[in-house]
Amino acid sequence: MRQIFLDTETTGFNANVAQNPDRMVEIGCVELVNRKLTGNNLHFYLNPDRDSAEGALRLHGLPTEFLSDKPKFAAIAQQLIDYVAGAEVIAHNAPFDLSFLDAALVRAGHKPFKKYVDTVTDTLVMAKEMFPGKRNSLDALCDRLEVDNSGRTLHGALLDAELLADVYINMTRGQDALLMDVGSANEDGVKVVQIDLSSFVLPVVAANAQELTAHEEVLDQIDKSSGGKTLWRKQA
């Protein structure tokens, strides 16, 4: 499975306004294949042809002067499309990034972003389901999942994509618990054998009469101590 963790930095927060829309100033992508980082990353600084809003500049710290000699999005669009083609793309607050990517792609004569990828996964939605009622910013998730983000003094697309990959791996750590690798491929050509434990049929051992009686006695004691208010007795 090929997954791409993607983040963008922008001049502001409005990609779709009619006059002088905000644009991307940085795109960072990190590749994960079979839950392993490959190092095959993609990173661009972009000339947005406009200044960043003050609030956005405080976040990413990329002044107009630094970006003035960088390529415009149209010049790198095809390289980005080729890189993400067919992959699952994972982003934090994905609708924000997609709004900028879609606007930039359409301006450059391409299709919207989702037309080129398999699926888009939003880790913010995942985090809200896993940690309801808690802060689920990238920094908060790094703290909660013990991902080192000490180098994140400013927002940076590539750094944030790398942090997001680590966060995602921690959030989904139990998903492969039923797969066991026996051995590993090495320079001697040893074949990797993967055992899918989910295919095993485990025996179900039913309680005997003595165990059932003991269980009922425990339930009776709990019911008595609660003054007959146990829900399972009422439902029965």
43 catalytic? Reply is: no
> To which residue do tokens 């080129």 refer?
116
Q: Using CA of residue 110, residue 114, residue 115, residue 118, what is the dihedral sign?
A: positive
Marked catalytic residue, from 60, 92, 110, 155: 155
Rounded CA separation 83/38 (Å): 13
Q: Using CA of residue 44, residue 47, residue 50, residue 51, what is the dihedral sign?
A: positive
Torsion (CA) 218, 220, 223, 228 in degrees, nearest 10: 180
Which string of DSSP letters, residue by residue, matches 89-127?
EEETTHHHHHHHHHHHHHHTT---GGGTSSEEEEHHHHH
Residue type at position 25: V
Q: Which residues are catalytic?
A: 155
